[in-house]
Amino acid sequence: MEGNEIILIPAGNTPEKIDTSIQAFNQPLANLLTHIGLPTENILTSVEERRKVIFALESTLDLLPREERYKAVYLSKFTVAISVGLFDGALNFLWDETVNAIRRLAGNFDLQYFFNIAATTNPKYKGLISTEDLPVISDHDLIEICRRIGLLSDVTFRRLEHVNYFRNHASAAHPNENEITGTEMLSFLEYCLRYAITAKPDHSVIQIKQLFDNIRTKEIPKEDFPSIGADMQKQSQERINDFVLSVFGLYCNPKQEQSVKKNIERLMREIWHVTTDDVRYFIGAKYGVYRNNGDVDRKDAVQKFLENVNALDYKDEDSLAAELLEKLQNLKTVHYEWNNFYNERSHAQSISTSIPKGGIPDSIRKLFVKVVSICYVGNGKGYKEGVDEGAIPFYQQFIEMFGVNEVKEFIFLFNDAEFVSDFWHTKPDKRLRQLATFLKTKTKDVQINKVLDLIVAFPNRALEKLASDSRYKEAVKFIK
């Protein structure tokens, strides 16, 4: 440092000069806080951690085109916050822009399709229609819906969920005493720039968008549907399921044009056989909901939809399953929000009053097992077990109800990116193994117990990678 000059530009300057410069304005800041009677301990990140980010910042920002960088006010705020040692504030600026970028990605895709998927994630998202409605969707649900559509890959989802975790529990967004290192900040910056702020949808997602748009706007020739169906079957199972649910929603709209309904009927004959039972039961359950609500037009549409694909066996005339479905969706959203361990109990208690006397309905078995397991295992946040302890008795009650079919669903859930997103934390890792150990008491099936044993013995904090393990892949082949 020359005279009183403060140098923060790494090029041509030694780490010692950067360190001295940071320290030069550290003391005046500390003096100001002391003067006005505010605490100074554990407020600013150390000089060493700041230096790590400052020296790598320029190369990391190369991910963003120059013309975009000139407009990136959030990055200016991020850089200033890093320089003065407020890493928690820097992360908040970065995450807010990341969420805005993902909303733009969704808005530029197909909002109707996006909101259709959102409504299957949580009923409170029904009725959303414009880009102004996107902030209603929670950050976790936003990236989960984009993952399901294909705007974000499973791996990208996990990366961004990791950033979201730190944003909720180590940033200035909420009171906390957690620290973020310079290396972590650089990783977060790269993840957000590379996988959200500069992200583009892949070709397969664009195909889905075009098909959904054509179904709504054109009368597609009958002879084209076998080819369309064959191409659709190349998509992931989750994407097929979501697409079927979306066009089912179009079909049940009383104001829908006949040409659109005809397109849907013809397409469903080609792809219904590759949808999964949980989706079929979900559609069948809507018959009872519409009947009990006196919604004759939609009830008749469900009847015709199922007749078209010869699937009347899935029709459920009781609305209890659909009521339970909505309560599970609400609980899942609450679980991923801030302070989940204070807010889950009322939802869990409500679910306990909606379970039919005959047990867990087939139509919601998969979601029931997923949500109960996620909430029981917890997310590692908070100061105890990372769970809502008031809700634990209800979760234990639900898990006691698990039979062989529920245990199977639990095993297959390790292929679900959302399900495994918190397993890299110590507390969820430990509770998940405890749950797997308990589930061994529910069945004597050798193949099922083989997988449960693998879960229990798998390397610590690595269960998010279980589904890619060759032993898991081989074992689940024998579970039907």
Q: Indicate the Cα dihedral angle 252, 255, 261, 263, nearest 10°.
A: -120
Tell me, what's the pLDDT at 64? 94
User: CA-CA distance, 342 to 336, in Å (whole number)?
Assistant: 12
For residue 261, what are its two tokens? Answer: 């309904």
Residue 359 in this model has a pLDDT that exceeds 90? no
Task: Let me know: does 436 contact 467? Beta carbons within 8 Å.
Answer: no
Q: What is the mean pLDDT of residues 325-346?
A: 89
User: CA-CA distance, 58 to 10, in Å (whole number)?
Assistant: 9
User: CA-CA distance, 21 to 327, in Å (whole number)?
Assistant: 55
Q: Of all residues in the chain, what percent carry a pLDDT higher than 90? A: 69
Residue 369 in this model has a pLDDT that exceeds 90? yes
Residue 471 in this model has a pLDDT that exceeds 50? yes
For residue 169, what are its two tokens? Answer: 């529990």
Task: Let me know: does 242 contact 148? Beta carbons within 8 Å.
Answer: yes
User: CA-CA distance, 118 to 103, in Å (whole number)?
Assistant: 13
Q: Mean pLDDT for the chain?
A: 90
Amino acid at 112: Q
pTM comes to 0.81
Taking CA atoms, 377 is separated from 30, 285, 338, 341, 433, in Å, by 42, 29, 17, 12, 9
User: CA-CA distance, 137 to 286, in Å (whole number)?
Assistant: 24
Residue 210 in this model has a pLDDT that exceeds 50? yes
Tell me, what's the pLDDT at 430? 95
Q: Closest Cα partner for 173 from 90, 83, 266, 258? A: 90
Give 345's Cβ-side CA count (13 Å radius). Answer: 9
Tell me, what's the pLDDT at 320? 77
Q: What is the mean pLDDT of residues 97-110?
A: 94
Tell me, what's the pLDDT at 17? 64
> Which is higher by pLDDT, 8 or 96?
96
User: CA-CA distance, 200 to 105, in Å (whole number)?
Assistant: 8
Residue 132 in this model has a pLDDT that exceeds 90? yes
In terms of Cβ atoms closer than 10 Å to its own Cβ (0-12, 13-18, 19+), residue 331 is buried
Residue 321 in this model has a pLDDT that exceeds 90? no
Residue 65 in this model has a pLDDT that exceeds 80? yes
* Chain position carrying tokens 């117990």: 449
For residue 437, what are its two tokens? Answer: 């150990």
Q: Closest Cα partner for 466 from 445, 447, 452, 478? A: 452
User: CA-CA distance, 433 to 223, in Å (whole number)?
Assistant: 52
User: CA-CA distance, 52 to 189, in Å (whole number)?
Assistant: 13
pLDDT interval class at 1 (50, 70, 90): very low
